[in-house]
Structure 1
């Protein structure tokens, strides 16, 4: 679908009660011309002739959704990997590996070009396990085949001995069992696993883009830890046109980005404006589940051990130098911080820089740091579904402080700009799931966790639509047509919101009409 378009008989969220045209006067027609919203008028009020017409039959129209923090190629690869998220112990995870290995061996699927390719799993959360992962435990079920399990938060990899040999590792890290790698060593393994044929990962990425469009997504901020400019230029040239993409640049690629003149907000040549340079991404600490998020307090059970308060991966002086170098080159910073001490140091760096950007995750905050986001012009780029995944781990390792964990309402009330995302594959690339967690702070029938940190549906929608919140004339016709009013349904209904139509600049990228 291209060209001029009339969306007939739709509704705008919050303007009507539930039901098809129950109040008669609230239905609107939306005229789209040249990829923009030209007119919004009462339904049937002088609709233009010659426009392609789509009957919405009272469905609701919202701005197209953005996921403001994804690792897109990693998310696309999830469907090809063993899901070990259900494991409640290291022994259970090893059992899942053994079953998968026997199944693949029976099909001959482990052979790839005469070599035995690794069995890759994803999704384990070991923070509450009663036993410890180790190379020996995986060796018992895998033999000579390399096995790599990636934690749900991506900050840890669990390898068997064959995989340690494959990647030239000894497997020993201070404070970790043999075969368990955390932070940069884990990231290095994941980068190596991502070294696959472009045509393969691009096909996976196209499938993932279709799935995202089917959930009303029009854009993503891709923070994959690679040189993304080449990846997305290639994909755009090969017809990947279902999403707008802003890609991140990491410190290892900063000088290359500067040399090539990349600046945040500028479109890559040859991508039709769909692919833009995004932020400069720096990771300053670890994660909660890996117990490497950098905190003021020691983690229970780790007192007196090395890194008992987590791991600071970029010292303050180095961080400030990196942010200054990036800002001077026109790259907007996006800095990862999860622990309260890491967040304090990142806000200090932004204050010294005298310019804003985004603070990615902001999971645990000191109360005095919350007002600093608005004052410094720092966007809180947050992932509400993480609170649903991490609530039990937080209650154990951040005991007594969880009132300021995932403190979305405190940030909003203090005037901070919120940007919601998933951190896919850590959580699903589905903004409806994200919004449901932000609005309800609950999942699977559990009592809401710190319900005082719930945010209104209006705020969640705005934080998922680049601040648009509502459909307006003059905006790009990036739109989603949905079955329920997102401002009046409960969080459970938000989580499973049916999407009937997605438009990108007035062009159909998904239709269930």
Structure 2
């Protein structure tokens, strides 16, 4: 169905009148007068219908005031001046004169033309290719991440308890939190149950506190007592003990499963979901790949999609990963991948596995022992024999396989399995992913590109881990950590995420970290040029890494990730040009509007 544009304007059009007049110089005066009357009537109806510009029209033209400031993120990385939106889709793109030439004015249907604020730019809707949606919501409840000592974290738990009468008056009520980070504590040790119970307002209460990276749980004495007795050994995990050999209150990786957590209600999960969606949309995210730390997350998203199928849509696009329990049985031939649920906003055609632990907690599986702890080289959460067994089966049954791999040994084992499984398969139909791909040997960097494996990386981890990484890995081995440029040079595809709540959910923080490799204050262990600056990404690579590349990694590149005709009208208006502004100004950028399916879901461009 053709769309007809008209010279209807809302907001500022300073500097653009000359362009419009010049392109219309051949239109007769009579035609102009008729068209003007029609436009005025259409404008009045539009105002009444949309309640004075609270929402844009169903079809409209959106133009930048500064010339070509709309980044299409196509193969040529083109810039244009305007885009035409019809319903949920982009109908056309181009310069204003081109748009006017291609679309005939009509007395029956006139499209309003909106203009962005001076200095702003438009980019495709941004994606976080690795985050934990409900866990991020949980991390926002108690500010555990702000504690720089064990005592400060304990005080934040105490303040939360006494501020809520329902919890304060019920000592049996479980208190849960997320986000403590032992690497920034002055004590230089792991926390214990006794640290929590030393506070009189906490003593005797069941407490479960998840670490920032999700690989450790810190519990109170009451929680320890409720979940015992404990085994002496856990495959792929560690139970920290005191001097007498008794559990101290800290559980790493697979040992976390020993601590029972009550099943959350849908009301609880919806509250966490709402917190994440609020923050994500405010930061310009239109899509999140949920990396399945908890299996109940995807089940909740499916229920939400079914509930909202008739009433509306999910408030954000979700690419869910189905959790595979490393000790569980294979299910890939019994479960059907989920595509286009929730009115096209929920997909799940991938499985998430954990190969090893985390670098922060010393659980990443290395070929050689840790430099700062020669007694261990980490561990595999999933035994290599299981990895080698299930990867070919999942791929054979049509599932994308996304595997958490941090250490060089873990990445090598996973790539061995991918190489064997992909020998007779078209990799582009399956698109396997290394989630994190943090530490790689030079040989494995070459294999990623050769095999067509996607490296799903998190740039904000770089500027967080760089302060302790060399001490942990040594001066030579650390060169293979977060080697983004080397991965790209080996013709691999990189997609960017945050790993929220391990890091914040703002995609521009990842953009900044990827192109600078220094902290927000402009510092790094290697000076003002950044930490291993030769591994930086260009701005264009970083933009593609959070738009079209995540779309490819989720099989949605035909509908998302760039602003081309026929694709969904998902885009973000930023207050300044992140592609050219000084790097120390990037994080000052504001999201003016986040648009999903052509409708603003945060802010406004009206």
* TM bucket normalised to smaller: 0.7 to 0.9
Residue of structure 2 aligned with 1:201, choices 240, 256, 269: 269
Equivalent residue of 1:336, what SS? strand
Q: Secondary structure at the match of 2:414?
A: helix
Which residue of the other structure, out of 244, 249, 252, is the alignment partner of 1:179? Answer: 249
Q: Does 1:56 align with 2:133?
A: no
Unaligned runs of 5+ in 2: 1-54, 72-78, 242-247, 550-556
Contact 1:14 1:485 in 2 (8 A): no
Q: 1:233 offset after TM fit, Å?
A: 2.4
Match in the other structure for 2:370? 299
Contact 1:12 1:470 in 2 (8 A): no
1:281 to 348, 352, 368: 352
**Distance of 2:160 and 2:142 partners within structure 1:** 14
Select 2:304's aligned residue among 220, 225, 235.
235
Q: Which runs of 5+ in 1 are unaligned?
A: 16-25
Report whether the alignment pairs 1:482 with 2:482.
Answer: no
Cα distance in 1 between the residues matched to 2:225 and 2:151: 19
1:494 to 586, 599, 603: 586
Larger deviation, residues 221-230 vs 155-164: 221-230
1:155 to 208, 215, 225: 215
CA RMSD of aligned residues (A): 2.7
Provide the rounded CA distance (Å) in 2 between the counterparts of 1:106 and 1:361: 38
How has the CA–CA distance of structure 1 residues 350 and 103 changed in structure 2, closer, same or farther, with 3 Å as cutoff? closer
Q: Deviations over 1:33-88 (max 9, x none)?
A: 2422211222355266522442213421111100001110001111212424432x
Residue 219 of structure 1 is matched in structure 2 by 287
User: Cα–Cα, structure 1 residues 185 and 74, in superposed 2: closer, same or farther, change >3 Å?
Assistant: same
TM-score using structure 1 length: 0.88
Of 384-393 and 316-325, more deviation after overlay is shown by 316-325
Specify the structure having the higher radius of gyration (Cα). 2
Aligned counterparts of 2:590 and 2:160: Cα–Cα separation in 1: 35
In the other structure, the counterpart of 2:434 is 359
Q: 1:12 to 1:338 in 2, by over 3 A?
A: farther
SS at match of 1:110: helix
Q: How does 1:19-418 map to 2 (within 5 A)?
A: 28-43=81-96, 45-46=99-100, 50-58=110-118, 59-87=120-148, 92-98=149-155, 100-101=157-158, 104-105=161-162, 107-111=164-168, 115-126=172-183, 129-141=187-199, 142-168=202-228, 170=230, 176-177=240-241, 178-186=248-256, 189=259, 192=261, 195-224=263-292, 225-236=294-305, 237-238=307-308, 241-252=314-325, 258-262=333-337, 266-268=339-341, 271-303=342-374, 305=375, 308-354=376-422, 355=427, 356-400=431-475, 401-418=477-494
Is the contact made by 1:480 and 1:499 (CA closer than 8 Å) also made in structure 2? yes
- Distance in 1, matches of 2:468 and 2:296, equals 33
Structure 1 match to 2:21: none
Contact 1:155–1:183 (8 Å) recurs in 2: yes
* C-alpha displacement of 1:348: 0.8
Equivalent residues of 1:172, 1:179 under 8 A apart: no
Decide whether the 8 Å contact of 1:9 with 1:43 is kept in 2: no
Aligned residues: 490
Contact 2:147 2:153 in 1 (8 A): no
Other structure's SS at 2:492 match? coil
1:425, CA displacement in angstroms? 0.5
Please show how residues 403-442 of structure 1 align to structure 2 within 5 Å: 403-442=479-518
CA distance in 2, matches of 1:258, 1:3: 43
Mapped to 2, the partners of 1:167 and 1:12 lie a distance apart of 61
TM-score norm. by structure 2 comes to 0.75
Q: Point out the more displaced range, 57-66 or 378-387.
A: 57-66
Distance 1:233 1:106, change over 3 A: closer
User: Could you tell me whether the CA contact under 8 Å between 1:14 and 1:488 is conserved in 2?
Assistant: no
Q: Distance in 2 between matches of 1:301 and 1:341?
A: 18
Partner of 1:21: none
Aligned partner of 2:61 in structure 1 is 6
